[in-house]
A and B are shown apart, each in its own frame.
Chain A
Amino acid sequence: DTEVTQTPKHLVMGMTNKKSLKCEQHMGHRAMYWYKQKAKKPPELMFVYSYEKLSINESVPSRFSPECPNSSLLNLHLHALQPEDSALYLCASSQYGGGSNTGELFFGEGSRLTVL
């Protein structure tokens, strides 16, 4: 199994809603990532979990809250989002984290979020 699975594929939410994005991998990878991608732009790194600990938070607003319940699962909790947060949210994993990251990331297909 070489897949990273993201759910839901599409999400529409209002600015007062609370929702979550989910990501799962069963490759035994020890690092997991959240990226945000706007149309026609490269992915922007949001968070990195390395060995189930948050190792990078790229100054992301607190309305985005990551969670890593175990080494296979990664969640992104969303609350009080703004319309400008509408984007494709990509989850990725890599075999090793921290200083051993080889740069080979496996990406999911993404969750397309629309904030009304």
Chain B
Amino acid sequence: GDSVTQMEGPVTLSEEAFLTINCTYTATGYPSLFWYVQYPGEGLQLLLKATKADDKGSNKGFEATYRKETTSFHLEKGSVQVSDSAVYFCALVSGGGADGLTFGKGTHLIIQP
């Protein structure tokens, strides 16, 4: 079946540091890939997505590129802020999405001033 593997953390960085959160996947066919973010006390929000190989998703300074050859979708940001502290979930949907999203375990990101 489909699966998503991501570093669990917590990942602690100083403000303005460069961020990478690794995500790799296993799926049949050609999945769509997502990063969702969950701020403390809130539900999940879609951060960015990519639907085919070599697509780059971007939003709020975050970027991720769909790499089919390495089955990866790593999340990056050039300069993090304290307000980026949250839990980040990599996810995929495949086969038309009838079974819903497959989530990774989540990465807790802590940004210190």
Contact = CB atoms under 8 A, between A and B. Distances in A.
B37 to A, nearest CB: 11
Contact of B97 (A40, A92, A100, A107): A100
Contact of B44 (A40, A56, A90): A90
B98 A55 contact: yes
A41 B38 CA distance: 11
B44 A43 contact: yes
The contact size tier of chain B is 20 to 34
Contact of A104 (B49, B87, B89): B49
Interface in B92-108: 92-93, 95-101, 103-106, 108
Contacts of B91: 103
Interface of A: 4, 33, 40-43, 45, 48, 55-56, 90, 92, 98-110
Given A40-B87, A103-B92, A105-B46, 20 more contacts: A4-B43, A33-B100, A40-B106, A40-B108, A42-B103, A42-B104, A42-B105, A42-B106, A45-B101, A55-B98, A99-B95, A101-B100, A103-B32, A103-B34, A103-B93, A103-B97, A103-B101, A104-B34, A107-B44, A109-B42
Interface of B: 32, 34, 41-46, 49, 51, 87, 89, 91-93, 95-101, 103-106, 108
